[in-house]
């Protein structure tokens, strides 16, 4: 399938596990990629992997997504350098593990800035810059619905992101821009391997309930594609059925 031929797709958190898989999938289907991730990271391996795709060369625009001016700048540069902006995938995210008793205002602000406010700024720019047919996909988490100890700000921010997806869909509808969320379960990435909850046994995951970044990327691509034209404001759980069990 070449569902994104001639389109520009901007992916935040592009150098992470799920972000990288989303970039490879969208590029394989013809999109020109704009990769956004923190300054100082090495984008060369992903740029090299994307170079084999049919689309024009991908761009790496480093930015901290919690920096409002930087977000406006990368979106403007994406349009200036590729001539358009059709898809935004908000993948960048972070976790911290702390009991509520120890969580400072600074912790809460940092987690909300990365997991919610950054996406809000990309949505803002997307609503300004994208034309009809544009699509935004927010990567939330099943922590928006059910959660585990020590990750309260992450779970609350991801629940906020699902709510923001609904608000954005309402405002996007009149512009012909769709906004949806994917809520991944456990995904085989560095974020999962680093989890102290997994290491300590506070959270156990059946290996059958661990998905791959490519399986999340497939859902992202579906929601970003024109075939999902009647889907907006929705949250698609992609967790191998983990949340369905009592």
Ligand X SMILES: NC(=O)c1ccc[n+]([C@@H]2O[C@H](COP(=O)([O-])OP(=O)(O)OC[C@H]3O[C@@H](n4cnc5c(N)ncnc54)[C@H](O)[C@@H]3O)[C@@H](O)[C@H]2O)c1
As annotated, the active-site residues are 154
Of 22-30, 162-170, 187-195, 225-233: span binding ligand X (CB under 6 A): 187-195
Cβ-count burial of 25 within 10 angstroms (0-12 exposed, 13-18 middle, 19+ buried)?
Answer: buried
Of 71-79, 91-99, 163-171, 221-229: span binding ligand X (CB under 6 A): 91-99
CB of 175 vs ligand X, minimal distance in Å: 25
Partners of 59 in the β-ladder: 34
Write the CB contacts of 187 (distance below 8 Å, at least 6 apart in sequence): 17, 18, 210, 211, 212, 213, 215, 216
Please give the backbone phi and psi of residue 58, each rounded to the nearest 5 degrees, phi first. Answer: -75, 155
Site mask for ligand X (CB under 6 A), range 135-174, x = bound: ----x-x---------------------------------
Please give the backbone phi and psi of residue 24, each rounded to the nearest 5 degrees, phi first. Answer: -65, -40
> In 3-state terms, what secondary structure has residue 88?
strand
CB of 86 vs ligand X, minimal distance in Å: 21
**According to CB under 6 A, which one of 72, 192, 225, 236 is a site residue for ligand X?**
192
Please give the backbone phi and psi of residue 137, each rounded to the nearest 5 degrees, phi first. Answer: -120, 125
Residues 95-124 that bind ligand X (CB under 6 A): 114
Judged by CB, which is closer to ligand X: 15, or 53? Answer: 15
Q: Is 204 in the site for ligand X (CB under 6 A)?
A: no
Contact yes or no for 33/59 (Cβ under 8 A): yes
CB of 167 vs ligand X, minimal distance in Å: 19
Site size toward ligand X, by CB under 6 A: 26
> In 3-state terms, what secondary structure has residue 35?
strand
Sites of contact with ligand X (CB under 6 A)? 12-13, 15-19, 37-38, 64-66, 91-94, 114, 139, 141, 184, 186-187, 189-192
């Amino acid at each position: 399938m070449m569902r994104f031929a001639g389109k520009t797709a901007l992916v935040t958190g592009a150098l992470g596990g799920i972000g990288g898989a989303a970039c490879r999938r969208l590029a394989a289907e013809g999109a020109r990629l704009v990769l956004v991730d923190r300054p100082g990271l090495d984008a060369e391996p992903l740029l090299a992997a994307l170079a084999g795709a049919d689309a024009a060369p991908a761009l790496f625009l480093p930015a901290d997504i919690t920096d409002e001016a930087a977000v406006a700048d990368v979106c403007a540069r994406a349009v200036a350098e590729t001539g358009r902006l059709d898809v935004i995938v908000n993948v960048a995210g972070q976790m911290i593990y702390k009991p509520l008793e120890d969580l400072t205002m600074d912790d809460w602000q940092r987690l909300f800035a990365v997991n919610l406010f950054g996406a809000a700024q990309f949505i803002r720019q997307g609503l300004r810059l994208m034309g009809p047919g544009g699509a935004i996909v927010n990567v939330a988490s099943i922590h928006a619905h059910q959660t585990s100890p020590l990750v309260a700000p992450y779970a609350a921010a991801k629940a906020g992101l699902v709510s923001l997806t609904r608000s954005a869909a309402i405002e996007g509808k009149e512009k012909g821009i769709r906004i949806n969320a994917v809520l991944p379960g456990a995904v085989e990435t560095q974020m999962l391997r680093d989890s102290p909850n997994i290491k300590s046994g506070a959270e156990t995951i059946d290996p059958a309930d661990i998905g791959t970044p490519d399986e999340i990327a497939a859902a992202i691509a579906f929601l970003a594609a024109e075939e999902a034209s009647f889907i907006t404001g929705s949250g698609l759980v992609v967790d191998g059925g983990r949340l369905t069990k009592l």
